[in-house]
Structure 1
Amino acid sequence: MRRNLICPGQWFVTVLILAIGLTAYGCKDTVSVSEHVEVPLSSLTVTPGTLQPAFFSNTTNYTVNAPTSATSVTVTATPRDSTTTVTINGTITTQRSVTLGPPGSTTTIIIVLESQTGTESTYTVNVTRLLSSDNNLSALTVTANNVAQPLAPDFDASILDYTVNVANTVAQVTVAATKSDLNAVMQIGSVTVPAGTAAGSAPNIPLGGPGTQTVVSISVTAQSGGAPKTYTITVNRAASSDDTLSALEVTTNNVVQPLAPDFDASILNYTVNVANTVAQVTVAATKSDLNAVMQIGSVTVPAGTASGSAPNIPLGGPGTQTVVSIPVTAQSGGAPKTYAITVNRAAPASDNNLLALTVTPGSLVPDFTTSTTTYSVDVPNSVDSVTVSATKADPNAVMSGDVTAGAGVATGQETFFLIPLFPRTVSITVTAPNGDPKVYSITITRAFP
């Protein structure tokens, strides 16, 4: 508010004051206050944000700068008199959330106070949502032939320089990036991604020849302007000296057999254990560089073909080892790198035990266990026959004697007729796949009438 003061014996001065009724040093007020709020507020806040100037009940116009991330602000207006009606942008309330426009826009908030007598006062707050200064990326990827290539280090918005290593056969890459603030402007190589578009890509960026580096720049200019932030990706195209495998697999009867250790391109020697019944295996491998030349046993996989296999490689007899070599020669030549798989064919099984043995009707004495080979059974005179059933622990063992079951058949069963007082001995021989036999016997006695 502007006031003119006259001081006797002094001079005429013009000052700006905020209080009413100033009398000091013999000066008297010659002009009335030019602005007076009839229905005042006692406090006014806008969150997030700070009022400019600071709140004073007789100041009715304010500005607030809200951060660009704020999509709304909360206005709290407290009247000096609790009976006063407060309206914020047309809604009767002392606190209201007001939606802001896009960054760079100004939203006007009108606060009207009405006393019980109908007197009104108006406060105005102009909230400007600041332009974003965000010139960061939120994502960055490099792909070759639609396959994502790993960035080193992993992407972080605060890290500006990255390296990507691609195979010597990769002649072009696609770089895609996403802005943290879609209102920023981004340049990927020769491609401009304008404000309002969150992400973009530069497809098929050509690379130099094998063994060279190509640098791709991604500049991001914030909505508020200023110098751009520039991210760079150095793409290293490998020389054609790759003599490694990217995959190695051994199968038997179309079932993958586990390698020990697990495959790693830097590990050259592996072991595979197969059952004694397996007589042949198939070895398949994939080159890291399809322009290398690979040999799997007697099968040659030429340059330009990524993978190949040698089917039905014969193994030695049970209990033997067979070594399969896979040499890989790089496109640039030189000595090959040789991977080797030692296939261990298991020795024949030695299990010549019975898993179960029963006589019906009747009970074995002692109770059956695999380690007990001799049993007896007593039956009453009324029983003129019994059935003996035996099950092998290893179905590939052979059961012979009085009860038989060939290899691959788990259980054998026979019926025996009994004569009173003439014990009947049932003999069962179990021969393991490795040829070791075990004989079980049961003596069955029928009681005299």
Structure 2
Amino acid sequence: MKKCCGLISVLFVITFIGCNNPVSETDKSSNNNLATVELSSGTISPFFSPDTTNYSITVPSNITDITITGIAESPLAVVSGPVVKSGLVAGNSYSGSITVTAENGDIKAYRFTINVNPKSNNNNLATVELSNGIISPVFSPDTTNYSITVPSNITDITITGIAESPLAVVSGPVVKSGLVAGNSYSGSITVTAENGDIKAYRFTINVNPKSNNNNLATVELSNGIISPVFSPDTTNYSITVPNNITDITITGIAESPLAVVSGPVVKSGLVVGNNYSGSITVNAENGDLKVYEFTISRCEPEPDISLVTVQITNASQSYTLPPAFYTEKTQLEKRASSEIKSWQDLYNVGAITGSAYSQGVSEVNNKLAIDIQELENQYLETNIYGSTTINYKVTNTNPVAISVRVFFKIIANDSSEYQEYASVLGIQPNSFLDTMFYMSTAGKKVKSLTVSNIVEY
């Protein structure tokens, strides 16, 4: 004990003993790693790793401030305040560091070099957008002169440039109004790069002259057959409709979408023996006119005439045209009708032209006529002995002349007998018959029959 100023001072040493052992310096954490680094802007290189302490950060040229914040791995470590840089200038470099102090006092420093990119010199357009027209050549950022072709019916155009660089400034779009067919106009778009470099793209706008196309591409008929086959350069046509048709509509389709076609020709109450006329006018965009003329007629009724029997008098035999003939004829007609419908379907969807459609229908009808004729020839061949009576069923008494070919075979035992049969038919031996047979109904001549091509066996 010391005696001091009359007071007694006593030193006490108090030891606290708990359940756990006291913490020594060697047990404190030595973790002074950053778990990650957060950037307000820019890109870090290399990728962050707690064991790597030196980094470069690249910042865009238009960024003027950056904050770099470090996040410690250990909650017991202390991280220095973030690196904050303001007033960054494009093209300059800056440095900063973040220190991490572990619980045990160990320190690690992470160093950062901040590189601000120089201002961009990119003054290219990435693309050009047109409200109308076609650009030539195909757009390329390195090509600065272009022609734009605009249809004659377009009166306004807008040309808009889209920059490659988001830091570049593009002048307002080229806008031209009140365009006149046949005239040319000019305009330009400038691109100013971030560093001030300027590039100008120049455009010449050519408006097509008004079209002189006054052609019809095709003619559509509600009924009938047109002759000749339609051609845009042919302006006069004849159209025939079947006897059972009393109305027709003729519609013209223009080649040019800019041409104006007059309304369709419509004729009703068609009468056999009368001719009707109509026209379709095509007015080209430039005012040129072309007139297509049509003469329309309705066909005479066709008599319903069919061969019933051929009577061979001296042999007391008869030949009746079999039902199979009519069955096969109907099949031929159905086939032709189906083929014509196929042509019509192709034409309706625009797969073929009107000329191709008319040609196809004509070929189908011609083939049908040939096939029916061959079928008739096949079923009308028979043997004849001596004189012959030909009976026909006539269900239409209108006096219309119809020519039908009938083939006969003359069968003879010898030349003398053949000549006798030929004499009965009025033909020369070993030659052909060309004789007209006439039949009447109610005293009217309704048809003529030509018997030809007599064959000797």
TM range (shorter): 0.3 to 0.5
State the TM-score, normalizing by the size of structure 2: 0.42
User: Of Structure 1 and Structure 2, which has the larger fraction of its residues in helix?
Assistant: 2
Give the TM-score normalised by the residue count of structure 1: 0.42
The structure having more radius of gyration, on CA atoms, is: 2
Q: Which structure shows the higher strand fraction?
A: 1
